Amino acid sequence: MTDASNLSRIDRIAVSGTAAAAFITDPAGRVLLVKPTSRDEWGFTGGWVDRGETPHEGCAREIKEEIGLDLAIGDLLVLDWITDLGYLGEPLSFYVFDAGVVADPTLARPRPGEIEALGFFAPEEALARCGEFNRARLGLALKARRTGKTVYQPFSQAG
């Protein structure tokens, strides 16, 4: 990954102004959440989209890096536009993609040093485990998968 401290302001935005995450379930409808070593809360697998990547590509890379799975990235479920708390003082676009159903949940393995734990949780428990902002995104992702319609959340102050 590129060291953002050596980039111009525009280049930093291109590297860090977009994040992508994966909505993944098991055959029972339980939602995959990860507990990163860098945070005190559970959330989606995903992260920053690297320079030169599309959000789809960044999402697929993050899944592989964090939990060791090669998954096809499907439809966009949620686009959260974050205005006030964007990284480096700039707005942030946060994409949540449908990465489908993992037939064998035991194949997902947390990456040591990055992911402390992972688990598949019933939607209600998953919502309870997430922090405020990922809880909102998860609720929208559940709705989007159920209805088949992407949810655009403009002007969020989530971060």
**Domain coordinates in residue numbering, the chain:** 4-152
Q: Does an H or E element contain 115, and which? A: strand 115-121
Nearest in space to 24 (alpha carbons), one of 70, 57, 55, 58: 70
What pLDDT score does 88 carry?
57
In which residue are the tokens 């006030």 written?
Answer: 84
What pLDDT score does 58 carry?
95
Q: Name the stretches of the chain with pLDDT < 70.
A: 1-16, 84-89, 155-159
Which CATH code fits 4-152? 3.90.79.10
DSSP, collapsed to helix, strand or coil, labels residue 67 as: helix
Contacts 24+ apart (CB under 8 A), 136-142: 136/80, 137/21, 137/44, 137/78, 137/80, 137/94, 137/96, 138/23, 138/31, 138/44, 140/77, 140/78, 140/80, 140/96, 141/23, 141/77, 141/78, 141/96, 141/98, 142/31
In this structure, what is the dihedral angle of CA atoms 49, 53, 54, 59, given to the nearest 10 degrees? -50
Question: Which tens digits make up the pLDDT trace of 22-67?
Answer: 999 999 999 999 999 988 899 999 998 998 899 999 999 999 999 9
